[in-house]
Every structure is written in structure tokens, then in C-alpha cells.
Amino acid sequence: DAGVIQSPRHEVTEMGQEVTLRCKPISGHDYLFWYRQTMMRGLELLIYFNNNVPIDDSGMPEDRFSAKMPNASFSTLKIQPSEPRDSAVYFCASSRMRGIHGYTFGSGTRLTVV
Amino acid sequence: GESVGLHLPTLSVQEGDNSIINCAYSNSASDYFIWYKQESGKGPQFIIDIRSNMDKRQGQRVTVLLNKTVKHLSLQIAATQPGDSAVYFCAENISPGANSKLTFGKGITLSVRP
């Protein structure tokens, strides 16, 4: 199994531009999570899906952030418009059952907004 | 490497010694706990978990201890190796299910001296 695959690994964009982060979860995992990691706030859960349906998006910072999961093998996190304070590492994780045996994380996307 | 390791508490140990990494969790209702390891440039990786009906669980070279009375979790690493150098996170969950959240601690950097 290739694990959770995220792309791109690094993204540098100008303030105001749209950014799309992508994630392919592990096949057979029916939960998918998007996390953001910063020095100040650590790992924050943004949103999670169960069977492609968004369950809890209370961690999404504001309306500039949106996430979709059109099928079991693909999810996107979009920021429009991006701002410098969005600079962080964004992780996608997946699991078979919520919280059980931990989540498998991808390698993350390092986003820098200048 | 990942900037997430900056400004975090650091534990420095000699190679071959045992390491003890401590975590105070926040919610007395939490009943499932996980330790993660995050190496530079990678996503968090599951190490070991424990349920609240246990106070100790052992894996390969790692032991997790849970003290629910004082809401304290520890990770013991035997015969610490250079490859153990990383940021370690504890995570807590309340009755893993539809509405529970896996909440991560801030992290501790383990530095192994050769």
C-alpha cells in the first residue's frame, strides 16, 4: 500500500491566489481528515469525512476554506483567496474507524503564502 | 526540516539510555490515547495506543503508561537510538465514534546524543 498520498509537497503562492491541496487516502479507509500544523497552534483538525460525507467542519477557519470528497479515493482542500496567515503544513490522514488504531497521515503539503 | 520542532520542549538523551516522554491530557472523559512520532519532513506516525481500562501497554521497545487520576500519559523508549530523534505527540479521544475528536498535544522534541 502506498499510504496516504498528498500533492503537492510544497506550494508557494501569492496572497489572493487560489490554492488547492489534494489527498488520496488508503484504499478501504472510510474516514478522511484534514489537519493544519503550525508552530503556534500545533496540529488542528480542520474537517473530516466519513464515507465521502463531511461530518464535522467546525475546525475550518473561515469561509475562505472549503473541502470536498467527490469519491472514496480523492479529496481536496481549497483556500480562496489565500492569505499569509494560511502558511502552514497541511496534512491529510485516513483511517478505517474514527480514532481506532490511530490515523495514517500523508507526508503533508507545506504551503507558503507570500 | 519541519519548523514544527522549534519552540517545543526538548528532551535530550544519550544514545542507549531510556527515554521518558510525558504528556498531560486535558479531558477527564477521554478514554483512548495514542502516541505519534513525527520525523522531519514527514507526517505523524502511529507508535502505540492505550485504552482507559488499561494503565500500561507494551510494544517493541516502547511502553505507554496511563494515570487517569492525574490525567497523565507517558511514553517510555528503551535503549534510545538516533533514529528515535523526532517530535512526539500524545493524542486523546473521547469514546471513538461519530462525534468524537482526536485532539493532539503540542509535542515534545526528543534529541538523541551519539
Grid cell locating B49 = 495506543
pLDDT of B47 strictly over 60: yes
Any chain B CB within 8 A of the CB of A53? no
**pLDDT confidence of B73, banded at 50, 70, 90?**
very high
Once rounded to an integer, what is the mean pLDDT over residues B25-52?
91
Contact B42 A42 (CB under 8 A): no
Residue range A36-73, pLDDT digits in tens: 999 888 899 999 999 999 998 989 988 999 999 999 99
Contact B49 A102 (CB under 8 A): yes
Per-residue 3-state assignment (H helix, E strand, C coil) for A21-66: EEEECCCCCCEEEEEEEECCCEEEEEEEEECCEEEECCCCCCCCEE
Name which residue leads in pLDDT, B27 or A84.
A84
Most trustworthy range by pLDDT among A28-32, B78-82, B98-102: B78-82
Place of cell 500524545: B90
Any chain B CB within 8 A of the CB of A39? yes
Residue range A76-114, pLDDT digits in tens: 999 999 999 999 999 999 988 765 667 899 999 999 999
